[in-house]
Amino acid sequence: MSFNQKTNVHKEHIQLKQRLLHYRSETVKNERLLRQQEKKLLEQKRIIDGLTDRLEELAQQAEKNSGAGANDYEQNSTRQAIIVPYFSYSILVPSTFEEDETVLVKGHFVIENKGTAPLSTPIICLAFNKPELANLTGKINRPRAPKDHVAQMNESDGWSFLEESGDAQAKETGQYWLKPKTAEIPALSTVMFSNFEIQLPMAATSSVAMQVNGFVYGDEHPEGIPALNAIAFTLV
């Protein structure tokens, strides 16, 4: 075997070892991502099961109250709004940990009125635990938004900021104060802030725990009602 042939064989051997190391590294990374996703799925299932059980309990309680005490409600005018807010969401983690990749949270904030009276002037607050991570997109009518963006919004389910400067304030305080188009949430009905998204750049979320809590306010509940669950995500 000539010197050049030996050199080529040596180079090819090195390249094969490098490729082998690369694929082994990718395999380890993918296995770690798979374990994380499996853990998230189990946690999501646990939350969903808990919420389902809780909603069934509240529905049974509301049914008993509306059936057994219907006459009392009419005679004593003690109808009330029973508000049950909660998050339904999923977290999409990219397959590679690159700086230009983002973790995407997609979901709905659901507000159920299981009572016998409406909730007047409903307002929601979505509060990030860290203002620097606060970024929220969805069916929000932002002031001075491009016309084509507003045109894409369904007027029946769009939301708007409580104040005109609410978008800027949210980036400072981490709190998004929003109101729906409807002036009330009728009894035995549901309103949703649907299809919202939260993006977390990978470079900005290293070893960061993000949590978003939800609250519902109205004339009948000025003190606010916290959501049954929260959006929680930790990237290490």
pLDDT in tens, 209-226: 899 999 999 999 999 999
Specify the pLDDT at position 68: 55
**When comparing pLDDT for 159 and 24, which is higher?**
159
pTM: 0.63
pLDDT at 49 over 70: yes
Specify the pLDDT at position 18: 79
Q: Are 105 and 234 in contact (CB under 8 A)?
A: no
Task: State how far the Cα of 173 lies from the Cα of 54, in Å rounded to an integer.
Answer: 31
pLDDT at 174 over 80: yes
Percent share of the chain, pLDDT over 70: 82
Looking up tokens 């519902």 gives 216
Q: Which domain holds residue 126?
A: 3-235
Neighbouring CB atoms inside 10 A of 69's CB total 14
Task: State how far the Cα of 207 lies from the Cα of 235, in Å rounded to an integer.
Answer: 5
Q: Are 105 and 128 in contact (CB under 8 A)?
A: no
DSSP 133: G
Question: What does the DSSP assignment read for 50-113?
Answer: HHHHHHHHHHHHHHHHHHHTHHHHHHHT-----EEEEEEEEEE--SS--TT-EEEEEEEEEEEE
How many angstroms separate the Cα of 196 from the Cα of each of 39, 92, 107, 224?
A: 23, 13, 6, 21
Average pLDDT over residues 39-63: 80
Specify the pLDDT at position 50: 82
* Mean pLDDT of all residues belonging to the chain: 82
SS3 168: helix
DSSP 150: H
pLDDT in tens, 118-156: 999 999 999 999 999 999 999 898 765 444 333 334 444
Specify the pLDDT at position 66: 64
DSSP 130: S
SS3 210: strand
Specify the pLDDT at position 84: 97
**When comparing pLDDT for 103 and 215, which is higher?**
215
Q: Based on the structure, what is the number of domains in the chain?
A: 1
Q: Structure tokens of 79? A: 């109808």
pLDDT in tens, 106-122: 999 999 999 999 999 99
Report the chain's C-alpha Rg in angstroms. 25
DSSP 203: G
**When comparing pLDDT for 160 and 6, which is higher?**
160
Average pLDDT over residues 76-89: 87
Specify the pLDDT at position 41: 77
Percent share of the chain, pLDDT over 90: 44
Looking up tokens 């049974």 gives 60
DSSP 15: H
pLDDT at 34 over 60: yes
SS3 146: coil
Q: Which CATH number do you get for residue 84?
A: 2.60.40.10
